[in-house]
Structure 1
Amino acid sequence: MDRWKIVRAFTLGPLLEAVVPKPGNVNRFEDFEDLTLYHFLFADTAVAGIYYEAVKRAELMKRGTLGLNEAGIGELIKRAVQVSREAQDANPNFGVIVLSVPLVMGLALGRNMLDAREKARLLIDESTVRDTMELYRAIRIANPKGIPSGVKYDVYSDESFRELFRDGINLSRLAEMSCGRELVFCEWLNGYELSYATFEWLYELVKKLPLEEAVVRAFIELLAGNIDTLIVRKAGIEEARLVQENAGKVLEGKMGIEEFDAFMREKGDLRNPGSLADIMAVSLSLLVLRGLRVEMRNGKVWGVIGRP
């Protein structure tokens, strides 16, 4: 698969996710006090060079020049977070980077988009303790909200590096321990199951609905079917369940989208869905990779798959 095709897809996907007016998220109409659409524009474009390097590195592995345990996923994630932070002063795309780096490498290694899932999981399994240490450094740079302290392998404790080395904690083992607290690590373990399922549903929705309506519909279904782990970390499980419940009401026609959006924003960014927004960004990247383009129909933008 062409290098730049992969990089373009995983640059454009998160940008689409950011601009579409989804309930509770930053979009082209809404900002938060400390996070705006401009943060996403600068952050998501800053990482393109790192994604390109990830693809090139995967091509070397495919030729046998590098071993799978030399992928350097942790280092690539850290460097992507660094260039993102150099371009802006917030944390708009840490989860997207964590999801995207192994997957873009899997796409370069695999035979097709489906095979990429297995290749990405293999890279996670073959990762090293150094990858985990570099991921910890990336987390410190990004400083995501709600990271717990005082736990085993505490991200912000220097002692954790010695513990990670002592116990041989590579990315796969870290994901197994962290899946319950962060959805993106579950995606590492299950072969991007939710990301691909959302991509496949978007593929069908864009045939029936304008692009923004398709994305909003898929996102509300994500919220109704899953607990957003960022909301759990920021506001607690009960708030996360309330978001899930109200998203279900929207699908049932018992609550309007505007009312739902107002509910999502009434406590600032506490109910801002982050983990599921990351899933949406990757799903849109896959849709772009599958051939998404846009065209105007009766004053609305429609997503079309394939060439004109």
Structure 2
Amino acid sequence: MERFKIVRAFVLGPLLEAAIPKPGNVNRYRDFDDLTLYNFLFADTAVIGVYYEAIKTAELLRKGILGFNEAGIGELIKRAVQASREAQDANPNFGVITLSVPLIMGMVLGRNMLDAREKARLLLEESTVRDSMEFYRAIRIANPKGIPSGVKYDVYSDDSFRELFQDGINLARLAEMSCERELIFCEWLNGYELSYGTFGRLYELIKELPLEDAVVRAFLELLAEREDTLIARKAGREEAERVREKAREALEGRLSLDEFDAFMREKGDLRNPGSLADVMAVSLSLLVLRGLRMEIRNGKVWGVIGRL
């Protein structure tokens, strides 16, 4: 698979996710006080160079010049997060970077898009304690909301680096311990099951609906089916469950999209879905990689896969 095709897909996907007017998220019509669409534009394009480096590293892995335990996933994630932070002043894409870097490398190592899932999982299993330490440094740079303190391997405690080293905690083990608190780690462990499932759903929906409508529909389904772990960390499990209930009402037509969006925003960004938005961004990247292009029909943008 061509280098620039992969990079383009994993940059365009998050940009589409940010622009499309999904309930509760920043989009081309709505911002938050401390996070705007411009943060996403600057952040998502700032990582291009690091994504390209990830591809070149994966090519060395494929040739056997490097071993899987030398992939440096943690450092690549940290460098991408640093590039994002240098380009703007918020945290719009830490989760997307965390999901994307192993999968980008998997795309180079795998025979196809499906095989990339397994290769990404193997890279994480073969990661080292140093990868976990660099990943912790990336978290400190991004400073995402809702990170717990006073726990084992506390991200913001300097003792955590010694604990990670003593216990031999690589990225796969870190994901096992953190999956319940953060959906992204579950994706690492289960071979991006939700991301690929959402990609498949989008593939079907764009045949029937304009692109924005298809993405909003798929996102509503995600919100109705899965607890957004960012909302749970910020506002508690009860609030996260309320979001699921309201999403089901919107899907069933008992709540309009405008009403659901108003509910999602009535407490500022407390109900802003983050983890599921990250999954949607990666799913859209997969759709782009599969050949997504756009056409305008009667003033609406449609997503099309296939030759002109």
Q: Matched residues, percent identical? A: 81
Q: In the aligned structure 1, how far is the partner of 2:101 from the partner of 2:290?
A: 18
- Structure 2 residue aligned with 1:131: 131
Q: Which amino acid aligns with 2:212?
A: E
| Residue 164 of structure 1: aligned partner | 164
**Cα drift, residue 189 of structure 1:** 0.1
Task: Give the counterpart letter for 2:48 in structure 1.
Answer: A
1:201 and 2:201 correspond: yes
Post-superposition Cα deviations, 1:155-197, rounded to whole Å, max 9, x if no partner, equal 0000010000000000000000000000000000000000000
What's the offset of the Cα at 1:43?
0.1
| Amino acid in structure 2 at the alignment position of 1:236 | G
Letter aligned with residue 256 of structure 1 = S
User: Structure 2 counterpart of 1:262, which letter?
Assistant: A
In structure 2, what is the Cα distance between the partners aligned to 1:86 and 1:217?
Answer: 34
What is the aligned partner in structure 2 of residue 79 from structure 1? 79
Q: How many residues align?
A: 308
1:246 maps to which residue? 246
Q: Is the 8 A contact 1:10 1:282 kept in 2?
A: yes
* Cα deviation, residue 200, structure 1: 0.4
Query: SS in structure 2 opposite 1:288?
Result: helix
Give the partner amino acid of 1:190: N
- Structure 1, unpaired ranges of 5+: none
Counterpart in 2 of 1:142? 142
Q: Which amino acid aligns with 1:305?
A: I
Deviations 1:113-138 (A, max 9, x none): 00000000000000000000000000
Instruction: Provide the TM-score with structure 1 as the length reference.
Output: 1.00
Note the C-alpha offset of 1:306. 2.1
Q: CA RMSD in A?
A: 0.4
How far apart are residue 251 of structure 1 and its match?
1.0
Paired letter, 1:33: D
The offset of 1:307, in angstroms, is 2.1
Structure 1 stretches of 4+ with a deviation exceeding 2 A read none
Q: Which letter maps to 1:80?
A: A
**What residue in structure 1 maps to residue 304 of structure 2?**
304
Equivalent residue, structure 2, for 1:274:
274
1:210 partner amino acid: P
Is it true that 1:116 corresponds to 2:112 in the alignment? Answer: no
Q: Secondary structure of 1:250's partner?
A: helix
> 1:262 maps to which residue?
262
**Greater displacement, 250-259 / 30-39:** 250-259
Unaligned runs of 5+ in 2: none
Check whether the contact 1:290–1:306 (CA below 8 A) recurs between aligned residues: no
Cα distance in 2 for residues equivalent to 1:299 and 1:98: 36
Distance in 1 (CA, whole Å) between partners of 2:297 and 2:83 is 38
Whole-Å separation in 2 of the counterparts to 1:216 and 1:36: 19
Query: Residue 293 of structure 1 aligns with which residue?
Result: 293
Counterpart CA distance in 2 for 1:70 and 1:202 is: 35
For residues 6-26 of structure 1, give each alpha carbon's deviation from its aligned partner in whole angstroms, at most 9, with x where no partner exists: 000000000000000000000
